[in-house]
C-alpha cells in the first residue's frame, strides 16, 4: 500500500493528488545555477521536504554551458515544403542561427522540438511497462508514450498512446515530469495515471506488457534515457514519501553512444 499512502502535498493540502484545476501555490526548488548534476542527483535529498511556498517562485535560471553548446540534431531541409524550391543555408536578417531558406519563395524552414507524451501507471504498487516491438530500442522496456498529435492535448495524447501500446484505459491523475532533450529536439511530458480496469495487453507496437514491482524495474533494459530518469525520479519520490512534479533537461554526455541510456546528466532539475 506504499503507493497509495504516498500523496502529493500541494496548495497547502496534505494527502491530495493534483487536480486539473489551476493552482497558484506551486513553488520549485531550483538547482539551475549549479553545474550539471549527474543523476541520481546527490543534492536531491538535501532539498527541504517542506519546500511548498504560498506563491509561485522560480529561482533565476542560468542555462549551463553543456546545454548552450550542445549541437542539436537539426534536419537538413533541402527543399521548401511550400513551393518545392531548393533551399540555402543562411542566417536570416535579425536572427542568429543558420536556417534553411527557400531560394524561390524566401520562406524559412523553422524546426521546433516535438513533444512526447506518456503515462506512468501505478497499479498494486507496481508500474506498467511495455516491451518495444519496433525500432528504435526493440526488445527494451518503456512506459507507454509517443508523439503528441495535432488536435489533441497532452493528456489526451498520453491516454491514446497508452491505449495503443498497452490496450489499457487509464485515468490521468497528475503531471509527473517534463523532461527536455535539446540534442534531439524532444520534450517529454509524463503523467501519473491509474488503470480504469485491471486489463492490459500488448498493442501492435509492443511484444509484452507487464506490471513491475518497484524493486524489479528493469533499469538496465529500458529503452531511453527519458524512461530511466522518469522511473528513477518516481522511485526516489516514493522513498521520500512524497510524489512531486519534476522538470529537468537530459544532456547526453559527449562522446557516448546513443544506445547508452545511462550516459547523461540531468540539468536544471527543479521540482514542486
Q: Which residues bind Zn ion (CB under 5 A)?
A: 80, 82-83, 85, 102, 104-105, 107
Task: Using the minimum distance from each CB to Zn ion, give the nearer residue, 109 or 235.
Answer: 109
Q: How far is the CB of 214 from Zn ion (least distance, A)?
A: 53
Cell of 259: 544506445
Q: How far is the CB of 46 from Zn ion (least distance, A)?
A: 54
Q: How far is the CB of 77 from Zn ion (least distance, A)?
A: 11
Cell of 133: 516491438
Contact between residue 199 and residue 43 where contact means Cβ atoms under 8 Å apart? no
Task: Using the minimum distance from each CB to Zn ion, give the nearer residue, 81 or 201.
Answer: 81
Task: Using the minimum distance from each CB to Zn ion, give the nearer residue, 4 or 75.
Answer: 75
Q: How far is the CB of 95 from Zn ion (least distance, A)?
A: 18
Cell of 26: 506551486
Q: How far is the CB of 119 from Zn ion (least distance, A)?
A: 40
Which neighbouring-strand residues pair with 99? 90
- Residue 194 CA to residue 214 CA, distance in Å, equals 16
Cell of 142: 518503456
Is the bond into 40 cis (omega within 30 degrees of 0)? yes
- Residue 130 CA to residue 120 CA, distance in Å, equals 11
Gyration radius from the chain CA atoms? 20
Task: Using the minimum distance from each CB to Zn ion, give the nearer residue, 90 or 124.
Answer: 90
Amino acid at each position: 500500500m506504499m503507493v497509495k499512502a504516498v500523496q502529493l502535498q500541494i496548495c497547502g493540502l496534505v494527502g491530495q493528488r493534483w487536480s486539473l484545476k489551476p493552482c497558484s501555490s506551486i513553488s520549485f526548488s531550483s538547482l539551475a545555477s549549479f553545474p550539471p548534476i549527474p543523476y541520481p542527483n546527490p543534492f536531491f535529498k538535501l532539498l527541504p521536504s517542506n519546500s511548498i511556498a504560498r506563491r509561485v517562485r522560480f529561482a533565476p535560471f542560468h542555462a549551463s554551458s553543456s546545454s548552450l553548446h550542445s549541437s542539436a540534431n537539426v534536419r537538413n531541409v533541402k527543399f521548401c515544403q511550400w513551393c518545392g524550391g531548393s533551399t540555402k543555408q543562411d542566417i536570416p536578417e535579425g536572427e542568429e542561427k543558420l536556417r534553411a531558406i527557400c531560394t524561390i519563395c524566401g520562406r524559412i524552414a523553422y524546426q521546433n522540438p516535438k513533444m512526447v507524451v506518456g503515462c506512468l501507471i501505478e497499479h498494486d504498487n507496481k508500474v506498467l511497462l511495455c516491451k518495444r516491438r519496433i525500432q528504435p530500442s526493440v526488445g527494451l522496456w518503456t512506459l507507454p508514450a509517443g508523439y503528441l498529435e495535432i488536435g489533441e492535448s497532452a493528456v489526451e495524447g498520453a491516454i491514446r498512446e497508452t491505449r495503443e501500446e498497452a490496450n489499457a484505459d487509464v485515468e490521468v491523475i497528475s503531471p509527473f515530469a517534463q523532461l527536455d532533450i535539446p540534442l534531439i529536439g524532444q520534450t517529454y511530458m509524463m503523467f501519473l495515471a491509474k488503470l480504469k480496469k485491471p486489463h492490459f495487453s500488448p498493442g501492435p507496437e509492443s511484444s509484452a506488457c507487464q506490471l513491475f514491482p518497484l524493486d524489479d524495474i528493469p533499469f538496465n533494459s529500458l529503452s531511453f534515457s527519458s524512461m530511466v530518469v522518469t522511473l528513477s525520479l518516481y522511485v526516489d519520490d516514493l522513498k521520500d514519501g512524497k510524489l512531486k512534479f519534476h522538470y529537468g533537461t537530459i544532456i547526453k554526455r559527449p562522446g557516448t553512444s546513443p544506445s547508452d541510456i545511462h550516459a547523461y546528466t540531468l540539468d536544471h532539475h527543479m521540482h514542486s
